Structure 1
Amino acid sequence: MSDPERAMLLSVHPRFATAILAGSKTVEVRRQRVAAPPGTAVLLYATAPTMAIVGMARIASVQVASPREVWSTSRTRAGISRREYDAYMTGATRASGLTLKDPVTFDAPVPLTALRATGPFHPPQSYRYLKCDDLQLMAMAAPSADSTLRGVLSELVPA
């Protein structure tokens, strides 16, 4: 899989997944450097109690800077309070602000149980890049997935 075809699986709390998919949260912040080019597909894994891939978005841009700088540029779009942000960033020297665009909610979320039924699957603590094998397992786990997810998978998985 070449870089333009790379996809990311991003673990987020259900409240943040909902806000991203609703378009009210357009920046996701992370404590570590994220290197993903604009256009990268981001599959959103909503953590417990949802435990499912619920939708996707695309990366519009990534800002890697100090936590203070990331907050300064993203505070109105990050969907969290300053107190939450500061608690999350405690001890971090670098932060990433992923600006997301084109959010799409899947009609049929792909539950963790279905993902694990097709092979070993472990949701990331924060995020991870997906390999072709990962995407093929997702396709098998979601045979009745909506057309958006099928389209993303077909775009990313070589024939």
Structure 2
Amino acid sequence: MSVPERAMLLSVHPRFATAILAGTKTVEVRRQRVAAPPGTPVFLYATSPTKALVGMARIASIQVASPREVWSANRRSVGISRREYDEYMSGAAQASGLALEDPVTFEEPVPITALRESGSFHPPQSYRYLTGEDLRKVTVAAPGAGTVLHGALRHLVSA
């Protein structure tokens, strides 16, 4: 597999971040089309009240289809009830199911305050791609974040 050119920053509720990192939630769903190649690193930003980068995973595959088709293919892996899914997808014409693999919890979460000290940082409502410069800022913001985060960042920044 080739080294991805970019990484993804994905905002998720803390309970979903915990489930992804525990391996019990292996598919994250989004209301819009997501296009990223397999192997793309995904940094998990846990929203309020956590407000921190808490871990990462890699995209194994992405399914883009109708909300009904995405649910049918992934219902046992999305970590939410059908009711929650239907409420979230209400009015959406398509959905994306991001199959995630190789989850890793950071030894120390990187709080939003540290991320903002290294430059402007605005967590996305859903997701966004990170540039090499964005990743360098995370490295500066997270000097004590541990070997997992720094190893991943060094690998991506040098790519």
Q: Into which bin does the TM-score normalised by the smaller protein fall?
A: over 0.9
Corresponding residue for residue 139 of structure 2: 139
Identity %: 73
Corresponding residue for residue 19 of structure 1: 19
The Cα of 1:145 is off from its aligned counterpart by 1.5
Alpha carbons of 1:151 and 1:32: their partners in 2 closer, same or farther (altered >3 Å)?
Answer: same
Aligned equivalents of 2:116 and 2:48: distance in 1? 15
1:48 match: secondary structure: coil
How many pairs align?
158
Corresponding residue for residue 117 of structure 1: 117
Corresponding residue for residue 76 of structure 1: 76
Aligned equivalents of 1:106 and 1:96: distance in 2? 26
The Cα of 1:6 is off from its aligned counterpart by 1.1
Aligned equivalents of 1:88 and 1:120: distance in 2? 29
State yes or no: 1:94 paired with 2:94: yes
State yes or no: 1:127 paired with 2:135: no
Superposition RMSD in Å: 1.3
The Cα of 1:5 is off from its aligned counterpart by 2.4
Corresponding residue for residue 45 of structure 1: 45
Deviations 1:81-132 (A, max 9, x none): 0000000001100100000000000011100000001110000000000011
2:115 match: secondary structure: helix
Aligned equivalents of 1:138 and 1:42: distance in 2? 14
TM-score (structure 1 length as normaliser): 0.97
Consecutive unaligned residues in structure 2, runs of 5 or more: none
TM-score (structure 2 length as normaliser): 0.97
